[in-house]
Amino acid sequence: VEETAAVVEVGCTVWSNLGIEANLHEGQRVLIHGGGGGIGTFAIQVAKALGAEVAVTAGSQEKLERCRELGADILINYK
């Protein structure tokens, strides 16, 4: 039950920020800080589905690789 609630909460958070607040759409670019975390990985996928170019920050090459696998276009290691 907790895991299901967490997925729903992440989805609502990402959609309310990218879809509703930012009105992200095809051809735009978005910067996602903390791309390797739960909200960040979900946000990458939503942004790519909307047709946006995705830039992410993360603190390790391993996390950045995961972001790339999810579709991130620009990878920034903040360390």
CATH number of this structure's domain 2-77: 3.40.50.720
Q: Which residues is 31 bridged to in the sheet?
A: 55
Residue 4 has pLDDT above 90, yes or no: no
Quickly state the pLDDT bin for 50 (edges 50, 70, 90): very high
Query: What mean pLDDT comes out for the span 19-48?
Result: 97
Q: How far is CA 64 from CA 5, 24, 58, 71, in A?
A: 26, 22, 6, 11
Q: What is the mean pLDDT of residues 55-66?
A: 98
Query: Could you state, in order of their start, the residue ranges of all structural domains in the chain?
Result: 2-77
Q: What is the mean pLDDT of residues 48-72?
A: 98
Query: 1 pLDDT exceeds 80?
Result: no
- Predicted pLDDT at 31: 98
Determine the pLDDT at residue 3.
Answer: 84
